[in-house]
Structures are given as structure tokens and as C-alpha cells.
Structure 1
Amino acid sequence: MSNHPANTLTLVADIGGTNTRVALADGVTLLPETIRKYSNAKFPGLETVLRQYIEDEGGVDCKGACVAVAGPVRDGVGTMTNLDWTIDRDTLRRATQAEHLSILNDLQAQGHALGFIDEADITTVISAPEASPHAVRLVIGVGTGFNAAPVFQTEKGRFVAPSESGHANLPIRNEQELALCKFVETAHGFPAVEDVLSGRGLERVYLFLGTQAGDPHEKSAAEIMASVENGSDPQATEAARLFVKILGTVVGNLSLVQLPFGGVYLAGGVARHMAPYLERFNFVDAFRDKGRFAGFMKNFSVSVIEDDYAALTGCASHLHNLYT
């Protein structure tokens, strides 16, 4: 017998490149005790992950299911960028038997979470004047990949527009950044934002700096950040500094495109690990370095979302708003 009431709760999932997080929600409220994490490498596809979760939760009968996909979603079909899975409504229906179904891009889910995240889990990096409740907000994900999604609060509810911003060209401001673009291009054929502003991107920046110095060697992103913390490797510190500078430039560019007077919110594991160093490595200067629009950039606040389960909350909020 199930541990949960039938046809009452919704199943929500955040599908990353490495792991899938699954939980149950009651309306817009995530049930923390139901959160489980599964290694994608152990499963052939999402359907088997969700079936395993439902079994682990005692055969729960869900009234709805919403999943967030780390990749583009078109016409209700999600394609993973860093995983060979395709997710559609039939897959969700077979796995969950739920009546109400939805598939979101993972940044869309983060956008739907705004307003439902505990204030203690939001760290302010740049303050700005208070804005209207209907002002546009912008969520930017920096983790395994990079992406952004504007959040619009309309009279008919919240609309979070999808994008694939991480696959736009890297900006170039100086000779070092041009050399970095050429370094990335040689290895990957195209210098995209995600090739630098991601976990793997930080590793590429580190290798690039070593190559320039005539001592090319690799470190994982975790090792680089540990070296920054303990000060044991000047190259790691320089890699983080260059990463933060380019991040500031890109976040500033996206802010000028979307005009998020309601604030910019950085999400994702890399963003959280970089948060303590944004001030030290002059994120603010890079963010506002827009010539005669430098003063205008003071209209935009920037914060970091520290809640690792925000996408799950966003899925719950989205499904609740759709069907109530």
C-alpha cells in the first residue's frame, strides 16, 4: 500500500546531465522527505527512473507530473543536451499514469520557482532599486551547461520563455579573450558561451592558461575551486578570475537584451561555488562595463540561488498554476 494519498500529489523531476532528482509536491509545496536522487548512468531512460521512484515511494498514485529537462523543449518533446535521452508526454504518462503532464526546460523551471524560494537561499551580489512586482526577471544557469530564461509576470499568469543562450558566441573584449576563443575553437569547432561558462568550461580556462604559460596540465573543476579556496595554485586563481570576468560580461549582455528590472538570478552548481568569489574577482565591474550604459546597469540587481532543489519547486508551481 502507498505511503501517500491517491490522486492528490504531483511528481516533479529535475533531469540533469549526470543525475535526476525526483520528488513529490502538494500544490506548490515540495515535500522534502520525498526527494530522491538517481544516477542517470544506471538507467536506460527517464521512464525507468520514474518507475523506480514510484516503487521506492510505495507505488504512489500521482495526479500530475512535471519534469525539467537540461536541453531544448519543442512541441512537448525534450531533448537532453548532455545525455542521450528524449522525453515526451507519452513517456511521462506511461511511467506515472498521471492525468496532468508538462515538460519544461530546466531554466524555465528555475524561473517558475522565483517567489517560492526561501529568502535565506538567495544571496545578493549586486543591489538595485526596488522594482515593480511585474518587472521582468532573468534566471541564468551556470552548471554542467549554461542557459538563461526571462521571467514575465502577466495578467494571465507567469510566462518563462525558453532559450539556448549557452550556444551563442563567446564575447571578445581583448587579446586574451580572443586567444581563449581560438583555443576553444580549435578543440570544439565553435567558441560558444557554454564552452567557458560551465564546469567543463572552467577546466578549459585552466588548461588554456597553462598552455599559454608553456605548462599545459589539467585539473577538474572541483580541484580548481579547492585550489582557489586554499590559495595553493595561482593558475587556478587566475582561471577563476578570468571565468568571473567573462561571466560578468555575458550576464551584462543578457541583461541589456531582457531588461530584468526585477533582478537577475544565477542558478546552478558552478554559480553557487563561484558566489563567494564574485566580489573578489570584480564581477560587478565586468557586469557594468557597458560604456555610456554603465550607469544604466545599476538598475539591475544580481543574486545567486543557493537552493539546489529550486527546479523541483518550479515544476510544482508551474503544474499547480496550469491546472487550478
Structure 2
Amino acid sequence: MKLALVGDIGGTNARFALWNNGQIKSVKTLAAADFASPELAIGHYLSSLGLAPDTLSNLCLGCAGPVSGENFRFTNNHWTLNRTAFRQALELDNLLLINDFTAMALGMTRLRESERIQICPGAAESGSPSLVIGPGTGLGVSTLLPDDKDQWRVLSGEGGHVDLPIGSLREAALWQQLFGELGHVRAEDILSGSGLTRLYRSICALDKHVPQLSTPAEISAAALAGDPVAEEVLSLFCIWLGRVTGNNVLTMGTRGGVYIVGGVIPRFATFFQSSGFADSLCSKGSMSHYLKGVPVWLVTAEYPGLEGAGVALQQMLESASNFPGR
């Protein structure tokens, strides 16, 4: 029997699952660093299920980085991929590569109410696009658009690499500190797991504290325990995320709602709910009214990227069956 496989490959982890009857099955998470190539990781995944590589027919991978052309280099890990060689190696009938945040955005179409937490109240504007944004190994940003054929389209980009916006004198001072270290300060340089550590070091340097913490997990735990420096790190992180999110809502008109995804925020979800995120999201001067009432949810679903890769694969196969000559 020929199988369909979906993957969600980020900078750190590669998640794989079988896609069967519109559902993900047999999910496994592998460390990208443990494999020299995605082909080897997929071979290991199939072997762990007692399956041979030639049992695959269709494959969709959500990949960290801009997806175009014959050759693809993953962002934030060492993997590369040549479409033709990859397809031949796995004997695939169909290979679909999409940006990992395209997959993440499509995953929002399958959320249950129990898999999201309301952060900002409001009513989603019917027919309007939605924003999907999330700090993880990097900062992903995508726009989800409904169409008139009961399908979904995604505008993917590299929004995590926009310039970090400044909204206060304190932020300006920290930006100068960061600029001295990095030269060019992107949103992702702060709004990511490693960004928490970078922001902590910058605050310590600016205020002449001796750093005591070295990992995002330590910083989050210390902040929740009341450490004032770590608490400012989380507070500014949430404020900056609100500022970047608000800029994206204004740019793309995403009044269909905002989905906060990724592995960072759920570690301090209660703190995030009462943080300055909501105020900084709406603090846009004469356009502040535009953002009030835009609903924001924190997504707690376990595998939205895999679900979205399945949606993308299913839409592609349905389109091919409807237009077999294409």
C-alpha cells in the first residue's frame, strides 16, 4: 500500500507523521542534528514503523526557510535538499515543499476550541485574513486567507527578519546595546528562544549586572519566581512581540484574528496573558482603533505544523484530481 507522509522541519526538530484519511498518525519527533540529511531522517522514521522507503507515494514537508527553486537550504539547521534527487531517492509520485509557517498557518484551520487560549477579546471579521506569528528557534510569520472554494491560501514570507521596532527610551537604549553586538537588529534576534538569552545579556550589560542565567528555560523560570531582571526580560519580550504583531496586522489587514504559535510563549502562558502584549499591540497612534477588537489566541495544539502540511498535501491532491490534465 502506498502511503502519504507529512513533515514539519524547523531549526531544531523534525516532526514526521503519516497522513491517512485526513488525519495524522504515528507522530515522531527527531533531532535534525542527529541526521546528515532529511532523506536519512525520513528513512529512520519509516524504519521505526517497519516500513520501507518505497512504500511512500506522496510527501509534503513544511521547511524552515524561503521555498523556491530546485535547491533548498534549511534555515537554522545544516540540511539541504535537491528536489529532483530527493524525489528520486524516495521514489515519490508527488513532492510538495512549503514554508514551515505556511504549514503552521494551514494548521490553524484544524484547531479545536480546547487548543487555543484567548489573549485579546474580539470578533474575527468574516472573510478577512488572519495572522499567524510565533517565536521558536526563529520567528515565523504568515498570513492565512480563505478563498471562495472552501480552501485556504497562505501568504508566506520572512517577516521574522524585519527590523526590531522601537517604542520607548528603554527599548532604544537596549537597541543600541544590541546594535553594538549585532550591527543589524532583527525582530527574530529578540523574539525567539535564543533571543530571550540575548535580551537578558543586554539588560545585564546595560545595567551592569553580572549575568546569572544562561538558558531560555532558566530565564523563564527565574522570571516566574520573581527575579527582577528575568522578569523585565519576559516583560519586554511580550511587549516587543505585541509591537511586531501590531505592525503585521496593520500591514496585512489581518482582522480575521491573530494566532500566537511556537514553543516559547506556552512556557509562560499565564505571565503572557497579563503582560504588556495587548497594550503594545494596539499602541499605534492614530491607527490604534484599527487594532482594538482584533481577537488574539495563544495556540496550544501539539502538532499544528504537521496538520497544516496534511491540509496542503490534501488540497494539492484534490486539485490534481479535479484537473487531471494540469
TM over 0.5: yes
Partner amino acid, structure 2, of 1:155: D
Which of 39, 49, 56 is the equivalent residue of 2:41? 49
Equivalent residue letter for 2:221: A
Q: Is the 8 A contact 1:135 1:261 kept in 2?
A: yes
Which residue among 148, 154, 165 is the counterpart of 2:159? 165
Residue 324 of structure 2 aligns with which residue? none
Question: What is the DSSP-based 3-state SS (H/G/I as helix, E as strand, rest coil) of the residue aligned with 2:109?
Answer: coil
Structure 2: gaps (5+ residues): 319-326
**Aligned-partner Cα distance in 2 for 1:98–1:309:** 24
Residue 35, structure 1, aligned to residue 27, structure 2: yes
Tell me if 1:14 matches 2:8. Answer: yes
- 1:128 paired to 2:122: yes
Report the Cα offset of residue 95 of structure 1.
Answer: 4.6
Q: Which runs of 4+ in 1 moved over 3 A?
A: none
Q: Is 2:247 the partner of 1:253?
A: yes
Letter aligned with residue 274 of structure 2: R
Q: Is the 8 A contact 1:64 1:98 kept in 2?
A: yes
Alpha-carbon distance, 1:267 to partner? 0.8
Q: Secondary structure at the match of 2:153?
A: strand
1:64 corresponds, among 43, 49, 58, to 58
2:299 corresponds to which residue? Answer: 305
Q: Deviations over 1:60-91 (max 9, x none)?
A: 52231011111111136432221122234235
Report sequence identity in percent. Answer: 31
CA contact (8 A) 1:77 1:103 kept: no
C-alpha distance in structure 1 between counterparts of 2:164 and 2:144, whole Å: 24
CA distance in 1, matches of 2:265, 2:70: 28
Taking a change above 3 Å as real, the CA distance of residues 51 and 160 of structure 1, as seen in their structure-2 partners, is same
- In the alignment, the residues of structure 1 paired with residue 187 and residue 21 of structure 2 have an alpha-carbon distance, to the nearest angstrom, of 36
TM-score (norm. length: structure 1): 0.92
CA deviation map 1:279-303 (0-9, x unaligned): 3222111111111222221241111
Deviates further, 55-64 or 105-114? 55-64
Report the residue type matching 2:188 in the other structure.
E
What is the identity, as a one-letter code, of the residue corresponding to 2:215?
S
Q: Indicate whether 1:323 and 2:317 are aligned.
A: yes
Contact 1:68 1:106 in 2 (8 A): yes
Give the Å deviation of 1:29.
1.0
Partner of 1:84: 78
The residue that corresponds to 1:292 in the other structure is 286
Distance 1:78 1:266, change over 3 A: farther
Asked if 1:139 corresponds to 2:112, the answer is no
3-state SS of the aligned residue for 2:111? coil
Provide the secondary structure at the position in 2 that maps to 1:186.
Answer: helix
Residues 94/58 of structure 1: CA separation in 2 closer, same or farther (3 Å cut)? farther
Q: CA deviation at 1:94?
A: 3.6
Q: Is the 8 A contact 2:124 2:257 kept in 1?
A: no
**Residues 224 and 86 (structure 1), Cα distance of their counterparts in 2 relative to 1, 3 Å cut:** same
User: RMSD between aligned alpha carbons?
Assistant: 1.6
How many residues are paired up?
314
Shift of residue 175, structure 1, vs aligned partner:
2.0
1:267–1:88 CA distance, 2 compared to 1 (3 A)? farther
Q: What residue identity is the alignment partner of 1:255? A: V
Provide the rounded CA distance (Å) in 2 between the counterparts of 1:103 and 1:36. Answer: 19
1:226 aligns with 2:218: no
Give 2:321's aligned residue: none
Equivalent residue, structure 2, for 1:3: none
Aligned to 2:322: none
Helix, strand or coil at the partner of 2:273: coil
SS of the residue corresponding to residue 137 of structure 2 reads: coil
- The answer to whether the 8 Å contact 2:33/2:77 transfers is no
Unaligned runs of 5+ in 1: 1-5
- The equivalent of 2:90 in structure 1 is 96
Deviations 1:296-316 (A, max 9, x none): 212411111111311000000
Contact 1:64 1:100 in 2 (8 A): yes
CA contact (8 A) 2:124 2:294 kept: no
